[in-house]
Amino acid sequence: MNTGSDEPGEVAVAANDARSDRAAEQQEQALGSRAPAFIKARRILHLSWQVGIFVVGLAVVVAGIIMLPLPGPGWVVIFGGMAIWATEFVWAQLVLRWTKRKVTEAAQRALDPKVRRRNIILTSIGLVLIAAIMGFYVWKFGLVMPWKIKDQ
């Protein structure tokens, strides 16, 4: 059966296959240094470029680690530092690719109706428990802050 052309013998190719092939080619091309050609041509310059990228990426990752317990987008900054490293180092590109794949898989699992239903039920149960504890506290102590409660 001819699905997209009036010419005999031509076969339509699924768009998803073309996209996945193109993505695989881009991923294979993406491995390695992305430094400009004139930097790659000189060994000393390329080594200093890599050291600079490593130091900048390390500073960003350390800032993200500091932001984990403090206010701020800690994980986003850490992944930003990994992306900086991935511009120059293959190991960081592989780690970033693995992380992206796992995040995509987790997002797809989270959109599964059974998982969503379970998450909604667990959230509802948690909210009911918190409301019950708060209601008990107000019933027992009134609207008095905990540091003003006297020995009873």
9-53, pLDDT tens digit by residue?
Answer: 444 444 455 555 565 555 555 577 777 777 777 788 888 888 998
pLDDT at position 25: 55
Q: How far is CA 130 from CA 28, 86, 89, 94, in A?
A: 50, 43, 47, 42
User: Are the CB atoms for 63 and 77 separated by under 8 Å?
Assistant: yes
Instruction: Output 63 or 141, whichever has higher pLDDT.
Output: 63
Flag whether pLDDT at 103 surpasses 90. no
Under the banding of pLDDT at 50, 70 and 90, the label for residue 116 is confident
Mean pLDDT of the chain: 79
Neighbours of 89 (CB within 10 A): 20
pLDDT at position 142: 76
pLDDT at position 114: 87
- Mean pLDDT (whole number) for 128-143: 89
Any idea which of 53-62, 88-97, 125-134, 143-152 has the lowest mean pLDDT? 143-152
- Mean pLDDT (whole number) for 44-63: 90
pLDDT at position 128: 97
Task: Find the angle CA(49)-CA(51)-CA(52) to the nearest 5 degrees.
Answer: 65
> Which three-class secondary structure state does DSSP give residue 26?
helix
User: Are the CB atoms for 37 and 69 separated by under 8 Å?
Assistant: no
Q: Find the DSSP H helices in 35-146.
A: 37-40, 43-67, 74-86, 90-110, 113-141
